[in-house]
Amino acid sequence: MTIGFDILARDGAARLGRLTTAHGVIETPVFMPVGTAATVKAMTPDAVALTGARLVLGNTYHLMLRPGAERIAALGGLHRFMNWPHAILTDSGGFQVMSLAALRKITEEGVAFRSHLDGSRYLLTPERSVEIQRLLGSDITMAFDECTPFPAERGQVEESMELSMRWAERSRAAFEPRPGQGIFGIVQGGVHPDLRERSAARLVGIGFEGYALGGLAIGEGQQTTFAMVEATVPYLPQDRPHYLMGVGKPSDIVGAVRRGVDMFDCVLPTRSGRTGQAFTRAGTLNLRNARHADDPAPLDAQCRCPACTGFSRAYLHHLTKAGEILGSMLLTTHNLTYYADLTADLRAAIREGRVAEFELAGDAR
């Protein structure tokens, strides 16, 4: 069998689920730490696991350029290469290719582009993207798509969505079913509900193990994101996982869970950890602020992470101001723990029928 997904409880549109993969069982809603280049920045694999994470994200585009998919396969696959025994989802590379702008050319066949590293030429097609993800040994493969930029004219969005749907068919055909592994389709359509409905219908007709909402969280604003989730989720199979790509802030996650989303990823908690920002139950803290210089309190008295159980805000302020690597490590660990606990709390709220009352607090201080 491919990956499995069971819904254990519901609270309105919110779902408590269990995702079964070749490398373990993941409870949903779940947040995936981003390990783009086979590493979650400033973290060891053991440290990532201690936050509670059992699913991380790797990236086709970056790994195909360096060190190369064939090299990783020869070394035993991505799990062994990065010493991560748990599940891995790999993005198809479509979003990164979109960001290359002047370095790429899109055709029906795929995307021809120059590496941002050395200028060498590549052609990434749906078949090659899926092949790379197979070589990496991904538990969850993502269909190759074009992430439409925002803003864009409706005609451009529609043309881009239709191309992504044709690529989705080719991605599905190229995927080789393996026990505990599956492929997700990606809904596109910009900020146009009717295009998203059409895209969802096309993907359901092809058939995937899960369904992602792509082309969001790229500048359209939270309320528009939520509106597109509401316009899309009802047209997706309710017995399959729903994944909102590139999201996001804690409030984004809470709002999307209430609208039927199960899976999330974002660089925000790790990037914030490297720039002195910490997410806490009392709000977001900027450790660069002088107000923390003499504060003996922990970041978050309710947090179980090493930053909170072993160090003061004053010490973390010092590390951040001094540019010490330990500061990035501790704050990244804290932020990923916060996100893991946030999704655990959401799972408990769904189980207990109180997700509508779930609240977050605070602004940056």
| CATH number, residue 149 | 3.20.20.105
Active site residue 6: no
**193 and 321 belong to one structural domain:** no
**284 and 205 belong to one structural domain:** no
Give Cα separations from 300 to 268, 270, 284, 291, 339 (angstroms). 19, 17, 10, 16, 13
**139 and 239 belong to one structural domain:** yes
**pLDDT tens digits, one per residue of 42-85:** 999 999 999 999 999 999 999 999 999 999 999 999 999 999 99
**293 and 195 belong to one structural domain:** no
pLDDT, position 298:
98
pLDDT, position 365:
64
Question: Strand, helix or coil at 219?
Answer: coil
Does residue 89 register a pLDDT over 70? yes
**246 and 312 belong to one structural domain:** no
- How confident is residue 99, by pLDDT bands cut at 50, 70 and 90? confident
**262 and 288 belong to one structural domain:** no
Q: Is residue 214 part of a domain?
A: yes
Catalytic residue among 145, 265, 300, 341: 265
**241 and 291 belong to one structural domain:** no
Q: Is residue 239 part of a domain?
A: yes
pLDDT, position 29:
98
Q: Is residue 121 part of a domain?
A: yes
Residue 351 lies in domain: 277-357
**240 and 103 belong to one structural domain:** yes
Does residue 352 register a pLDDT over 90? yes
Number of domains in the chain: 2
**pLDDT tens digits, one per residue of 207-227:** 999 999 999 999 999 999 999
- How confident is residue 319, by pLDDT bands cut at 50, 70 and 90? very high
Cβ neighbours around 198 below 10 Å, total: 19
**16 and 106 belong to one structural domain:** yes
- CA 47 to chain CA centroid, Å, is 19
pLDDT, position 1:
66
Bond before 67 cis per omega within 30 degrees: yes
Does residue 181 register a pLDDT over 80? yes
DSSP 140-192: EEE-------SS--HHHHHHHHHHHHHHHHHHHHH----TT-EEEEEE--TT-
Q: Is residue 365 part of a domain?
A: no
pLDDT, position 116:
84
pLDDT, position 277:
98
- Measure the CA–CA gap between 47 and 182, rounded to whole angstroms: 27
pLDDT, position 94:
81
- CA 160 to chain CA centroid, Å, is 22
Q: Is residue 133 part of a domain?
A: yes
- Average pLDDT of the chain is 96
Q: CA 78, 83, 88, 90: dihedral to nearest 10 degrees?
A: -40
pLDDT, position 92:
94
**149 and 47 belong to one structural domain:** yes
Cβ neighbours around 59 below 10 Å, total: 21
Does residue 362 register a pLDDT over 70? no
Catalytic residue among 91, 252, 300, 341: 91
Q: Is residue 294 part of a domain?
A: yes
Tell me the whole-structure pTM to 2 decimals: 0.97
Active site residue 118: no
**256 and 116 belong to one structural domain:** yes
**pLDDT tens digits, one per residue of 292-317:** 999 999 999 999 999 999 999 999 99
Smallest CA-to-CA distance from 248 within 212, 274, 222 is with 222
Region 181-208: mean pLDDT is: 98
**48 and 72 belong to one structural domain:** yes
Q: Is residue 165 part of a domain?
A: yes
